[in-house]
């Protein structure tokens, strides 16, 4: 199997893994990933970073489109780009024989385009759209970590302390009295010094030992200790699995006893009742809640389980697309997705500012993939990703060709410039072009720079448009996280859901802390599911190596607002079959009026009377429109190609 050419930029690092990132559910062109503790300042809305323990993502709501019979255009111009030396190819895996065509069941999707009779020539995969808890449900919340034993008896210096009945949940505002049975199990008197403390969530009203500093027991004596407390601050989201410590008795570092219970929300007309418990529709406990990710602005109660941050219990809750693990996913990848996870990809990796890598700028154009393959954990990454691809699509993951450049410092290419992800990528591209290493950014599907000199707004990893990734350290799962952003995935750690149902997921910022990261929600967002419910896994509806473009369903309409509205969509032809394409931008030009706009295919554009002679349009009853677009992709031989569209159409104009 050949590898994508991946160019990685690394500056000032020591060895470590690389992979991860995330972004928020807002329109933006960047997302970041944190590898720091809670409380990191929130990044600007247009740049969401990645975190090893936090999420990030950006999304763009696609416009609805209506498909029509395609019109085959004149042969497009295809420009081949030269391919620089890349990582060595690896042997192709043995192909798996396709089964006999069959009809997929309801709730399944085929990993190939359906045959004319509607049967699947590949394999059928379940498409679950019900949000369920994959961990432990307690107090109507879904916890991924296993519960811990609490309120258990302990023996200290021969004194057996046995807590009495303690509920696992107390309602905020309630006052409770708890007891502890203390028994001297020895045949001698015991003096046991102690201190005690209570948590901020509980107010200590009274305790039988309030004024004591030690317990005195006669041989075999039994005492009953009491403590009265009031639940003052809800902590069920953080402590609902095992409870927060009501009060703790510490015995001179030789032992301790803690009473634990969680505090839940009281019934309220503004709260959601879910199972036997109550939750606010929106939650922000502190002014900085969005920074610590302890808030949510939406939530769903699904089968008596409350999921903060979730949008849907099933696809019936989604206005468009389908429900994947509680998130409504549209049929088009989010705005950061510049390619789909299929076919061949070339990746550029640049390592900069590493103290243990000799400074050799004269050798910057040398591909050092073999030298750094192990350090970058390329084999582990490809195995991880291939396993996921097989799990969700039954197909091997896309093939990567890696280009790894190293031996430079920030001073070589950006001594006084902006150290943001955009500033560093722009400076590095100019530097590599000037040295003859690359022709330009279009040589690669993805570009990664790794440098300790990056300014990522407090994040460890970051992704923006055009497949650009930046990381402050080498980390395999951090890279995987950030890479998923460039395939269209969003961060799942930006609200309370990241601490509950999404805690173990890659985009929930699990970078290995909780074992091998899971792929909740992401499998749908990168088109490994059937979002449009047509029976085909989405990624197989897209052209991998397109031959040409076709303009679909062009329309023009004069409006009552004295404007003209134009709309059209685009498809790709591949092997004589019309398929979807991930073309992000195209230009719509009106040559007769010297007016043009760049927009998203499928989106309606509006020209006003100051741009177009509308009286002339009414007189003609039609309008000449030119559609122009350019699309770069890596072909089956790992050659970079540019597919161009430039076609004029005369479109009949309808009146309001």
Tens digit of each residue's pLDDT (9 = 90 or more) over 338-353: 999 999 999 999 999 9
- Of 69-73, 141-145, 445-449, least confident by mean pLDDT is 69-73
Whole-structure pTM value: 0.85
Tens digit of each residue's pLDDT (9 = 90 or more) over 201-223: 999 999 999 999 999 999 999 99
How many other CB atoms are found less than 10 A from the CB of residue 15?
15
**pLDDT value of residue 77:** 40
| Interval 440-454 mean pLDDT | 97
Tens digit of each residue's pLDDT (9 = 90 or more) over 562-575: 999 999 999 999 99
302 against 96, higher pLDDT: 302
Does the pLDDT at position 6 exceed 50?
no
**pLDDT value of residue 95:** 58
| Interval 104-129 mean pLDDT | 97
**pLDDT value of residue 253:** 85
Does the pLDDT at position 454 exceed 90?
yes
- Distance separating alpha carbons of residues 629 and 598, to the nearest angstrom: 10
Does the pLDDT at position 177 exceed 80?
yes
**pLDDT value of residue 311:** 97
CA neighbor of 330 nearest in space, from 338, 321, 339: 321
**pLDDT value of residue 96:** 61
Does the pLDDT at position 52 exceed 60?
no
**pLDDT value of residue 655:** 85
**pLDDT value of residue 23:** 38
Does the pLDDT at position 125 exceed 90?
yes
**pLDDT value of residue 221:** 97
- Of 89-98, 110-119, 158-167, least confident by mean pLDDT is 89-98
Domains and CATH numbers, the chain: 7-63+333-525 (no CATH), 154-264 (2.60.40.10), 542-654 (2.60.40)
**pLDDT value of residue 2:** 42
| Interval 61-72 mean pLDDT | 29
| Strand ranges in 65-189 using DSSP code E only, listed in sequence order | 71-72, 78-81, 108-110, 124-126, 136-138, 141-143, 154-156, 159-163, 169-171, 175-184
Does the pLDDT at position 3 exceed 50?
no
**Adjacency order of strands within the sheet including 244-250:** 169-171, 256-264, 244-250, 195-198
**pLDDT value of residue 650:** 97
Tens digit of each residue's pLDDT (9 = 90 or more) over 12-41: 433 333 333 333 333 345 667 654 333 333
CA neighbor of 141 nearest in space, from 236, 243, 242: 236
**pLDDT value of residue 384:** 97
**pLDDT value of residue 87:** 56
DSSP state of 121: S
- Distance separating alpha carbons of residues 60 and 490, to the nearest angstrom: 11
**pLDDT value of residue 45:** 32
| Interval 493-522 mean pLDDT | 96
How many other CB atoms are found less than 10 A from the CB of residue 117?
7
**pLDDT value of residue 34:** 56
Place of tokens 């790992």: 638
Joined together, the tokens standing for residue 426 give: 């722009």
DSSP tally for the chain: helices H, then strands E:
9, 39
């Amino acid at each position: 199997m050949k590898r994508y050419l991946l160019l990685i930029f690394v500056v000032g690092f020591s060895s470590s893994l690389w992979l991860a990132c995330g972004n928020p559910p807002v329109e933006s062109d960047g997302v970041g990933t944190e590898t720091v503790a809670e409380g990191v300042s929130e990044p600007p809305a247009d740049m969401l970073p990645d975190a090893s323990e936090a999420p990030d993502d950006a999304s763009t709501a696609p416009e609805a489109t209506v498909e029509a019979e395609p019109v085959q255009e004149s042969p497009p111009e295809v420009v081949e780009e030269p391919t620089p030396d890349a990582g060595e190819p690896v042997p192709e895996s043995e192909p798996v024989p396709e089964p006999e065509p069959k009809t997929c069941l309801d709730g399944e999707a085929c990993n190939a385009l359906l045959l004319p009779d509607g049967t699947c020539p590949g394999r059928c995969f379940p498409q679950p759209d019900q949000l369920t808890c994959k961990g432990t449900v307690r107090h109507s919340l879904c916890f991924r970590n296993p519960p811990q034993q609490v309120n258990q008896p302990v023996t200290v210096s021969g004194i057996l302390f046995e807590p009495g009945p303690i509920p696992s949940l107390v309602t905020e505002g309630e006052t409770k009295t708890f007891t502890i049975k203390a028994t001297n199990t020895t045949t001698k008197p015991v003096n046991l010094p102690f201190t005690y403390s209570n948590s901020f969530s509980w107010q200590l009203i009274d305790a039988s030992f309030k004024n004591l500093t030690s317990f005195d027991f006669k041989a075999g004596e039994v005492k009953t200790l009491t403590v009265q407390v009031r639940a003052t601050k809800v902590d069920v989201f953080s402590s609902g699995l095992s409870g927060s410590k009501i009060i703790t008795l510490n015995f001179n570092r030789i032992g301790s006893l803690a009473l634990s219970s969680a505090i839940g929300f009281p019934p309220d007309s503004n709260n959601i009742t879910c199972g036997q418990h109550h939750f606010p529709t929106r939650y922000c406990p502190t002014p900085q809640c969005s920074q610590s990710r302890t808030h949510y602005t939406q939530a769903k109660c699904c089968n008596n389980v409350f999921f903060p941050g979730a949008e849907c219990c099933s696809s019936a809750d989604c206005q468009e697309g389908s429900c994947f693990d509680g998130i409504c996913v549209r049929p088009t990848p989010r705005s950061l997705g510049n390619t789909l996870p299929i076919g061949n990809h070339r990746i550029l990796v640049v390592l900069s500012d590493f103290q243990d890598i000799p400074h050799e700028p004269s050798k910057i154009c040398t591909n050092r993939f073999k030298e750094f393959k192990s350090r970058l954990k390329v084999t582990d990454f490809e195995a991880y990703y291939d396993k996921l691809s097989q799990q969700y699509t039954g197909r091997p993951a896309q093939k990567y060709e890696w280009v790894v450049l190293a031996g430079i410092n920030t001073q070589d290419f950006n001594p006084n410039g902006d150290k943001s992800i955009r500033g560093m990528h722009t400076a590095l591209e100019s530097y590599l072009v000037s040295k003859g290493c690359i022709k330009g950014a279009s040589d690669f599907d993805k570009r990664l720079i790794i440098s300790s000199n990056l300014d990522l707004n407090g994040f460890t990893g970051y992704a923006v448009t055009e497949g650009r990734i930046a990381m402050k350290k080498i980390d395999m799962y951090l890279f995987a996280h950030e890479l998923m952003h460039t395939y269209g995935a969003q961060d799942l750690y930006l609200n309370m859901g990241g601490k509950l149902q999404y805690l173990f997921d890659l985009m929930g910022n699990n970078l290995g802390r909780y074992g091998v990261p899971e792929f909740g929600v992401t499998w749908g967002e990168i088109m490994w599911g059937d979002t449009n419910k047509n029976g085909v896994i989405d990624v197989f509806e897209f052209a991998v190596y397109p031959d040409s473009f076709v303009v679909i369903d062009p329309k023009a309409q004069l409006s009552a607002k004295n404007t003209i509205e134009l709309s059209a969509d685009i498809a790709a032809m591949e092997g004589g079959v019309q398929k979807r394409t991930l073309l992000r931008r195209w230009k719509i030009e009106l040559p007769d009026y010297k007016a043009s706009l760049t927009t998203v295919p499928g989106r309606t554009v509006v020209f006003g009377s100051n741009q177009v002679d509308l009286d002339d349009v009414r007189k003609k009853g039609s309008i000449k429109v030119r559609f122009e677009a350019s699309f770069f992709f890596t072909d089956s031989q790992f050659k970079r190609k540019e597919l161009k569209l430039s076609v004029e159409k005369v479109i009949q104009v309808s009146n309001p």
